[in-house]
Structure 1
C-alpha cells in the first residue's frame, strides 16, 4: 500500500522533500497534503504541484497522511510531532528536535517508551558517499584521529536567506545546529558515542548566531577536532570530515565527495563521486524508501530520535547553552 506523506512547514527543506516525493514511485510513497501559514508558501506549492492541497492547518495534514514530515522552525517541532503521534501517525523530523533541550529530552524519552514510529532527517544515513567511506574503513584498521572543518562565506548561506529570520539568530539558528549536526551524526555512526572535552564559540553583539566555533571531543575513544567559521571562504559552503586510520586516511568533502589519500597522488575521489546537487536526489530517494518502510513498521537505518538527541546535546554544549 502506498504511504501518504504530509508536510508541515513549506520552506526550503519542505519544498526539497516534496520535490523528491513527487518524483518517487507513487506505489511506495506519495505526497498527500501540505500546511504552512505563510501566504507565499501556497503560491509556491501551486506552482510546483498544482493538484496537491495546501490545507488549513497542521491538524488537517495529520488527518490526511500516514507519516508527517515536520520541517517548520525548531520551536514548533515537538508540538507537531506529538499531535501526529496522538493520531497514530509516523513522524519524520527535521533537526534540531526542539529549541529547548530539556523539552527534547522529555519528548525522546516519551516517544521511546511508547514505541513511536519516528526518525530524523539526517540524509547521511542514505548517502552513497558515506557508504563508500564505510567500505574503505573496513580495510584501514583502527581509527586514530578525526577532524571536522566547516567554512562559510556568509551565514545564512545564500540559498537560505528566506529563512534568515530565525536561521541568523542565536536562539534557534547558526551553522553549528544546521551544518555541524550532520557531521556529528556521521561521527556518531562511524566511531561511537560522543564526549565533549572543550569548546569555544564566538558571537556578534546582539542576538546573532555564532560566527566561529572550536571544539575537541572524542567519539568511541577517537580524538576529534572541530573548527568552523563564517567569512573564512569565498564558497557558499565548504566542509571536510577527515579520518586518519592506521592504514591511511579518508575524507568526505563538500557533502558528497568520498576521497582517499594515496601517497603518490594525494586525495582522489571514488570513481562514482558526484557533486552534492547531483547526489542529493539519490540520497533523498533512499531516505523516502526508508521512511515508507518505517511507516509500515519495518526496521530501517534512518537517524533515530536518540541519535538526534545525542547530537543536539553536543551542539548545544558547544554553543554554551
Structure 2
C-alpha cells in the first residue's frame, strides 16, 4: 500500500449522480488527499455532462483504463455491475470503494466479502456525517440513557425522486431498485453502527405495481437487542424525501432528521436542532470529503471509519430480508 504524501489516485467507474457528487466534493479543494485519476461510464451522454461541469477530470476509454490509472477504484455504477468492476480492481491489486448494495445477489455479495477482506469499503456517508457525530456525542454524554426503542420513518412524494429520473429504469425495478435499497439501507447502517447487530425481522412489504419497486414497508426488527420500528411510504407527502431516525431511552430522545439535522428532545417534548446543524445540501460535500480521507487510510492499510464490507453485507442481508417479506 502507498504511504506517500501525494494525493491518492482515485478512479471512478460511473458518471451518474453519485460519481458527479464525489467529483463535486473534490472540486476546488487544493489540499485534497485524493485526485481523480480517471473517469469512465458506458454512456457518452453521462460523460459529456460531467465533462462539461468538470473539464479537468481525465476521461478514459473503459473500465480497465480506470483500474490501470488508479490506486483505488470508486464503483458508482448501477448495482448489478458492482462486483464485476470491484473484482477486476482487486485482481489488479487496487482497493475498492463501492456504492451500495454490493450486489443484487446475496450469495455473490457474501463471496465477494470473503475474497476482498480489508481491501474495500462501502459508501455509507453517515460514517462521516457531522449530524451523526452529534448523535454519537449525545449518546456518550448520557442524553439517551439506556436505549428503549428506535424508530425509522422514510417518505417520498414519488419514487424515484425527481433528481433520479435519468436512472428510473433500474431505480424503480424489482431487481435493483426501490427505496428500501436506496434509502432505508443508510438508516439500517446507522442502526447497526450505533446500536448493534440486526435480527428478528418481521412485517410486510407492498408491491402494488407489476414489475416496479415497493411502495410501502411496515417492519419490526431489533438492533443490538433494541426494538426497531421501520416504516416507508411512496405518496401521501409533499416532500420529495423526508426521513427521521429517532432513538429513545430512559433519559431522553435524539434523532436525525432529513439526512443531516441532529436534534434533541427537550422537556416540552419538542425536538430542537443542534446549534451547528446544517441542511443536507451543505453537509453532503463535507461528509464526502471525510469519506475520501477514510478511503486514503483504507488504501494505505490503516484503520478507518468507513463502512466495512462486512457492515455493508449485514445491511444488505437486512434489506433483502425486508423485500422478501
Q: TM (normalized to structure 1)? A: 0.96
Corresponding residue number in structure 2 for 1:48: 53
**Deviation per CA, 1:89-143, whole angstroms, max 9, x where unpaired?**
111000000011111011111212xxx4211000000001001001111213110
Alpha-carbon distance in 2 for matches of 1:248, 1:52: 48
Q: Deviations over 1:74-97 (max 9, x none)?
A: 111001011000111111000000
Structure 1 segments, 4+ long, off by >4 Å, are none
CA distance in structure 1 between the partners assigned to 2:90 and 2:17 by the alignment:
24
Q: Is residue 270 of structure 2 the alignment partner of residue 266 of structure 1?
A: yes
Match of 1:136 in 2: 138
Aligned CA RMSD, in angstroms, stands at: 1.2
Please, which runs of 5 or more residues in structure 2 have no aligned partner?
1-5
Shift of 1:20: 1.3
Q: Which residue of 1 aligns with 2:188?
A: 184
- Which sections of structure 1, spanning at least 5 residues, go unmatched? none
- Asked whether the equivalents of residues 40 and 59 of structure 2 are also in contact (C-alpha less than 8 Å), the reply is yes
Deviation at 1:230, TM superposition (A): 0.0
Cα deviations by residue, 1:151-189 (Å, 9 ceiling, x for unpaired): 000000011111001001111000000000000000000
Contact 1:22 1:30 in 2 (8 A): no
1:51-90 map, 5 Å: 51-90=56-95
TM-score between the two structures when normalised by the length of structure 2: 0.95
Q: Which residue of 2 aligns with 1:118?
A: 120
Q: How many residues align?
A: 318
Which whole-Å CA distance do the structure 1 matches of 2:50 and 2:163 have between them?
18
Q: Give the alignment of 1:1-321 within 5 angstroms.
A: 1-26=6-31, 28-112=33-117, 116-138=118-140, 139=142, 140-264=144-268, 266-320=270-324
Q: How far off is 1:27 after superposition?
A: 5.6
Question: Residues 305, 83 of structure 1: CA spacing in aligned structure 2 closer, same or farther, 3 A cutoff?
Answer: same
| Residues 24-80 of structure 1, C-alpha deviations (whole Å, 9 max, x = no match) | 345611111101011102211221221322211100000001110000011110010
8 Å Cα contact 2:7-2:35 kept in structure 1: yes
Distance 2:77 2:247 in 1: 34
